Amino acid sequence: MPPVGSQQQAGDLSGHHHHHSHHAEMRGSAIPSPPNQMPMDESRSVSMDFSVSIPAASATETTTMVPQKSPSFKVVPVLHDEMAKQSDHSILSAKTAAILLVKKALAEFLGTFLLIFTLLSALIMNATHDGALGLVGVAATAGLAIMVIVASLIHVSGAHLNPAVSISMAVFGYLPRAHLAPYMAAQFLGSIAASFLANAIYHPENPGAIVATVPTLGTTETFLVEFVITFVLLFVIVALIVDPKAVKELVAVAAGAVVMMNALSAAQSTGASMNPARTLGTAIATGTYTKIWIYMVAPPLGAIAGTGAYIALKH
């Protein structure tokens, strides 16, 4: 349906046309105008009618008006407008990136907190209930915790839950360097908070002996064990994350399985940390710092080596 205004305007124009045709016949013009062509004076009047509807300056100002086709009329405002849009877009992009990084850091804090609290709960329950869970039960708890937390948070932050993982990802370009410090801070804080909460809830006797990673091997052997088990952890994770042929849905399952496997093989010798945040959190909460430097250095180096080994193998 056409707009009401268009019908009215059409009616006015047709009425105007019939009015002039009637006067032409009254004058007895020898050459009447064709039905589809207006007389010259009528076309001028129509054009004047339309020009009146367009706001314009007065006759005295028309000589100083800037033509609408002049570059000074169009290009400058458009340039300013585009610059303003780009500036707004960059500000919005920066705000969005900052908000996303905060969300990622919160996900790392929460994920690491849940992982460490679950692991420490299992360790304390096993110690205070005469080995009810056993080594297999504690290792399975760690593996299951990794599995469910990674599956829940991998789409938010990558679910590193471990400074060694984040460091290796940053070294090889899978994590922006600017994100490394917030990720690591969130992971350390999550572990520290979980360690204090577990102590506050369970009040275990001699908590350092139960939850801290105290090695039973020599310094070199402890370093090598932590290096190797973290190497294996990252080799498997990177294989599933980086390789386009891999089934990425298996990342959570594989990571949980590797953690359980490493715990079974190394828990009695080094505590099977693989994670500087896991060790530092319980060290601070219990005041147990035995050979802590090994757990700060060996896992990141093993993680970098494991990541590099898979990338070298594929490329």
pLDDT tens per residue, range 1-10: 544 444 444 4
- Burial annotation 216-238 (CB, 10 A radius, 16+ → b, else e): ebeeeebbbbbbbbbbbbbbbbb
What residue type is 63 in one-letter code? T
Q: If DSSP codes are grouped into helix, strand and coil, which group holds residue 90?
A: helix
What residue type is 271 in one-letter code? G
pLDDT-based confidence at residue 175 (cuts at 50, 70, 90): very high
- pLDDT(51) > 70: no
Q: How far apart are CA 82 and CA 30, in angstroms?
A: 61
- Among residues of the chain, what percentage have pLDDT more than 70? 72
What residue type is 38 in one-letter code? M
Distances in whole angstroms, Cα of residue 27 to Cα of each of 17, 18, 20, 35, 37: 16, 15, 11, 17, 18
Q: pLDDT tens digits for 201-258? A: 999 999 999 999 999 999 999 999 999 999 999 999 999 988 888 888 899 999 999 9
Overall residue count recorded for the chain in this entry: 315
What residue type is 297 in one-letter code? V
In the chain, how many H helices and how many E strands?
A: 11, 0
Closest CA to 112 of 170, 157, 167: 157
Across the range 55-65, mean pLDDT stands at 43
What residue type is 100 in one-letter code? L
Q: If DSSP codes are grouped into helix, strand and coil, which group holds residue 26?
A: helix
pLDDT-based confidence at residue 87 (cuts at 50, 70, 90): low
Exposed/middle/buried for residue 28 (C-beta within 10 Å: 0-12, 13-18, 19+) = exposed
Who contacts 138 (Cβ-Cβ below 8 Å, separation ≥6)? 119, 122, 123, 126, 263, 267
Exposed/middle/buried for residue 177 (C-beta within 10 Å: 0-12, 13-18, 19+) = exposed
What residue type is 114 in one-letter code? L
* Residue 209 vs residue 66, higher pLDDT: 209
Who contacts 254 (Cβ-Cβ below 8 Å, separation ≥6)? 236, 237, 240
Across the range 114-123, mean pLDDT stands at 98
Enumerate domains of the chain plus CATH numbers.
Answer: 106-314 (1.20.1080.10)
Q: pLDDT tens digits for 249-302? A: 899 999 999 999 999 999 999 999 999 999 999 999 999 999 999 999 999 999
| Ordered alpha helix ranges (H), the chain | 4-26, 40-52, 71-128, 134-153, 163-171, 177-202, 207-211, 219-242, 251-266, 276-286, 292-314
Q: How far apart are CA 110 and CA 108, in angstroms?
A: 6
Q: How far apart are CA 202 and CA 91, in angstroms?
A: 48
Report pLDDT for 249. 82
Report pLDDT for 82. 58
The C-alpha angle 286, 290, 295, rounded to 5 degrees, equals 100
Report pLDDT for 91. 79
Report pLDDT for 86. 62
- pLDDT(103) > 50: yes
- pLDDT(75) > 80: no
Average pLDDT, the chain: 82
- pLDDT(37) > 50: no
- pLDDT(64) > 50: no
pLDDT-based confidence at residue 76 (cuts at 50, 70, 90): very low
**262 backbone φψ class: left, alpha, beta (φ>0; ψ -120 to 50):** alpha
